[in-house]
Amino acid sequence: MSKILIAMISAAALASTSAAAFAHEDREYGDYQLVVGFMQEPAYEGEKNAVSIRVTKEKEEGSRAADMGMGSHDSASHAPVESETPVSARISAELETGGGVNVHIMTEGWSWSPQGVNLPHKPGEGHAHIYVDGEKVGRVYAPYYHLAGLQPGERHIRVALNTNDHNELTVNGEIVEATATVRIPDTGADDTGMGGMESRAEPEAVGVEGLQDTLRVEVTHVPSGVSMVMNLRSVFEDPGHYAADLIPTSPGHYRMRVFGTVEGEEIDATFESKAGGGDFDDVQPASAIHFPDALPSGRELEGAARGAQAAAESARDAAMSAEESVSGASTLGLVGVALGALGALMGGGALLISMRNRSGESTR
């Protein structure tokens, strides 16, 4: 059985489970939609990650912003390229309230390279194309992709890995791809009482660009109360998607406060990880993925080092105290010897004087 078939079977199994593979919080804020969470989830302490912030709004009629990030090459046909290294892919698709679908793309032997798009092919890196019911809907430059506006019913999602120059990648002659099937519920009749009227997809959304200059995020590790305000960077060729890079060094509950302006409108929204009642993941201890032996984290090593340093300082202080005690006892001993010697001399002198006095009396 080929690696591709195994990947497809694994993807189907993952798609049928209820476990969350992608957990960001999606919230409306005025005319805008904010999606906030960690770029990589689950998030682990000591691992490079980022705060992920996506800001979209409903596309205006006649807007030319549809399918941003797609070039003229999208309608062209490219010959598949055989991978020089082993590469595989699998996906999970999680249905969210409102009919959107969060797609998580898991790869092996592969690096996402948004900075390499349109450049010559480089083994083991590139991007992906995503399809719904056989129709291409976008490019993917990271492990996560959000699908919105899908029609009710059974939808077939396909993801194929592509080289930097947009050729589909193959292993042993088979396209490196993965598929999943989701069922979008038809809630129109129940929610609106429209009876047999045809349900319509939610309005198309477009990313709001240029916010790296007007928005910031304050990240707080809630158990310790430590906070830091961070600037944002735009995610390459993914309009409306922004990131603040960080390495979380302690597990647990995190809070993300997004503030600033979006197209002149004031924004101040706070998002909590699951420990605080929110939707995105808490940071997990690194030991959760250690195998076969759990290794101490940097936080634990630092604590052990501090404990060892305190113990060393305590031992040093005790040694100095003991040395001072010994030194004091030696000084007292020397003083005693000196006084004893002085006493002996004085006693000897008194005895000599007494003997001389007796001798003088006897001669008289």
Q: Cα–Cα–Cα angle for 257, 258, 260, nearest 5°?
A: 130
Look at residue 152 and tell me whether its pLDDT is greater than 50.
yes
d(CA 172, CA 83): 8
Return the higher-pLDDT residue of 63 and 110.
110
d(CA 175, CA 133): 17
pLDDT 10s digits, 274-302: 999 988 889 999 988 888 887 776 666 67
Per-residue pLDDT at 178: 94
- Backbone φ/ψ region at 86: left (φ over 0), alpha (ψ -120 to 50), beta: beta
Look at residue 38 and tell me whether its pLDDT is greater than 90.
yes
Per-residue pLDDT at 237: 77
- Alpha carbon dihedral 13, 17, 22, 24, in 10-degree steps, equals 160
* Residue 57 one-letter amino acid: K
Percent of the chain with pLDDT over 70: 69
- pTM comes to 0.48
194: tokens are 């429209």
d(CA 128, CA 113): 10
The H helix count followed by the E strand count for the chain is 3, 23
**Mean residue pLDDT across the chain:** 78
d(CA 127, CA 86): 16
d(CA 360, CA 201): 138
- Alpha carbon dihedral 190, 193, 199, 200, in 10-degree steps, equals -110
Look at residue 107 and tell me whether its pLDDT is greater than 90.
yes
Return the higher-pLDDT residue of 345 and 277.
277
d(CA 280, CA 36): 8
β-partners of residue 133 are: none
- Alpha carbon dihedral 64, 67, 71, 73, in 10-degree steps, equals -120
Average pLDDT over residues 84-90: 93
DSSP string, 169-224: EEETTEE-EEEEEEEE---HHHHH--TTSPP-PPPPEEEPP-GGGTEEEEEEETTT
Average pLDDT over residues 165-174: 90
53: tokens are 């912030």
d(CA 231, CA 245): 9
Per-residue pLDDT at 5: 43
d(CA 244, CA 357): 104
Tell me if the bond preceding 223 is cis, omega within 30° of 0.
Answer: no
Per-residue pLDDT at 356: 58
Per-residue pLDDT at 232: 96
Look at residue 66 and tell me whether its pLDDT is greater than 60.
no
Cβ-Cβ contacts under 8 Å for 28 (sequence gap 6 or more)? 34
Average pLDDT over residues 333-358: 63
Q: How confident is the model at residue 268 (pLDDT cuts 50, 70, 90)?
A: very high
End-to-end CA distance of the chain: 137
